Amino acid sequence: MDSDLIAGILMKPGRRALAMVVDCRVVKTLDALPEREATIRFAPCVSRVRLLEGGKAIVSPGSTVRLKLEAGAGQLLEIQGHDVATLADRAAIYRRASF
């Protein structure tokens, strides 16, 4: 994933998993940075990604989704699949640094 993007996995028991992807590019002038297209690849356990946008939902089969993001903006995604909860497991988030 691009270093200008940050993603967080949001989990709540009994609810579907959500991912928030944010474009961290910022400048002091309005509209100085163009909209960008980003490809997000989730773990293979993700079988479907749903973009939550206003009143409509756009479904992308598989674990890869393409987004258009404005600088400083984000996109909320619903992720579905087998064992998706493992994406928020401590072992998946933290790993030892190797020197």
> Any idea what the CATH number is for the domain that residue 18 is in?
2.60.40
Q: Which residues contact 25 (CB under 8 A, 6 or more apart)?
A: 4, 33, 36, 71, 72
98: in domain: no
pLDDT at residue number 83? 84
- Domain with 19, as residue range(s), is 5-93
Work out how many domains the chain is built from and give that number.
1
Single pTM value for the model:
0.79
Q: Is the pLDDT of residue 99 over 50?
A: no
pLDDT reported for residue 9: 87
CA distances from 22 to 14, 38, 40, 48, 57 (A): 25, 10, 11, 20, 18
State the average pLDDT over residues 24-34: 83
Question: In this structure, is residue 99 part of a structural domain?
Answer: no
Nearest Cα to 80, choosing from 17, 15, 13?
A: 17
pLDDT, average across residues 65-87: 89
Is residue 42 classed exposed, middle or buried when 0-12, 13-18 and 19+ CB atoms within 10 A define those classes? buried
